[in-house]
Amino acid sequence: MKRLPWLPGIAAAIGAGRCRTVLLLLLLTLLSVPLGATTPVMLPPTQIQMARRFLLAVLHGEFQAAQGLLAPEVGQALTPAQFRVAALPLYQRGQHFGPAIDLYKLGFRLRDGQAPQSFVAFMFKADTLATRPEVQLDVTFRDSTARQILSFGLIPLGMQVH
């Protein structure tokens, strides 16, 4: 068995019995870490998470934070006052139904001659119990890889189709 040149020095300093205990604890600690373990990787937020973050910011009246989540060309085209006006109907519905929302659906809008557009739709939790929910909260993205909001709005529901 190969001797470690530094071991006798440690053993003499802390005592042979304690040295064995320290080495045993060190060995157990090293064995308790799974092989290949690394720090967890933080994944970027999904479109659903970004849409939810945006909608909750608007519903809580945090318009500046919400505007910061828009795609650059959209956010820069609106002054804070213009964004507030555009977001006000959504904010007002939140005052009526409360800020709790549930994911309703996600998908792609396919329009003639245009690229598919990714969307995420939520509904107010309080509105989901109604026979006919009143509105859907809609957030669109440029494509499936985008994480900045391209547009948003309320889609009226509950109207009878004749």
Inform me whether the pLDDT recorded for 26 exceeds 80.
Answer: no
Give the pairing type, strands 101-109 and 149-156: unpaired
Instruction: Compute the distance between CA of residue 144 and CA of residue 28 in angstroms, rounded to an integer.
Output: 46
Same domain, 75 and 101: yes
The answer to whether 33 touches 127, Cβ cutoff 8 Å, is: no
Give me the chain's average pLDDT, please.
Answer: 84
Question: Tell me: the pLDDT tens digits for 37-75?
Answer: 667 788 899 999 999 999 999 999 999 999 999 999 999
Same domain, 55 and 132: yes
Identify the pLDDT of residue 60.
97
Does 75 reside within a domain? yes
Does 162 reside within a domain? no
HSE, side-chain direction, 13 A CA sphere, residue 132: 6
Identify the pLDDT of residue 32.
59
Same domain, 35 and 63: no
- How does residue 127 score in pLDDT terms, banded at 50, 70 and 90? confident
Instruction: Compute the distance between CA of residue 151 and CA of residue 87 in angstroms, rounded to an integer.
Output: 11
Identify the pLDDT of residue 148.
96
Same domain, 117 and 149: yes
- How does residue 162 score in pLDDT terms, banded at 50, 70 and 90? very low
Identify the pLDDT of residue 7.
55
Q: Give the number of other Cβ atoms within 10 Å of residue 49's Cβ.
A: 13
**Sequence letter at residue 30:** L
Identify the pLDDT of residue 129.
80
Which residue range forms the structural domain that includes residue 30?
1-40
Does 24 reside within a domain? yes
What is the number of structural domains in the chain? 2
Does 109 reside within a domain? yes
Does 161 reside within a domain? no
User: Which residues lie closer than 8 Å to 63 by C-beta, 6 or more apart?
Assistant: 57, 80, 83, 84, 87
Instruction: Compute the distance between CA of residue 66 and CA of residue 149 in angstroms, rounded to an integer.
Output: 10
**Sequence letter at residue 76:** Q
Residue 54's domain is classified under what CATH number?
Answer: 3.10.450
Token couple for 63: 């318009």
Same domain, 7 and 58: no
Identify the pLDDT of residue 45.
94
- How does residue 125 score in pLDDT terms, banded at 50, 70 and 90? very high
Same domain, 56 and 84: yes
Pick 162 or 5 by higher pLDDT: 5
The answer to whether 157 touches 132, Cβ cutoff 8 Å, is: yes
Give the pairing type, strands 101-109 and 117-124: antiparallel
Same domain, 36 and 101: no
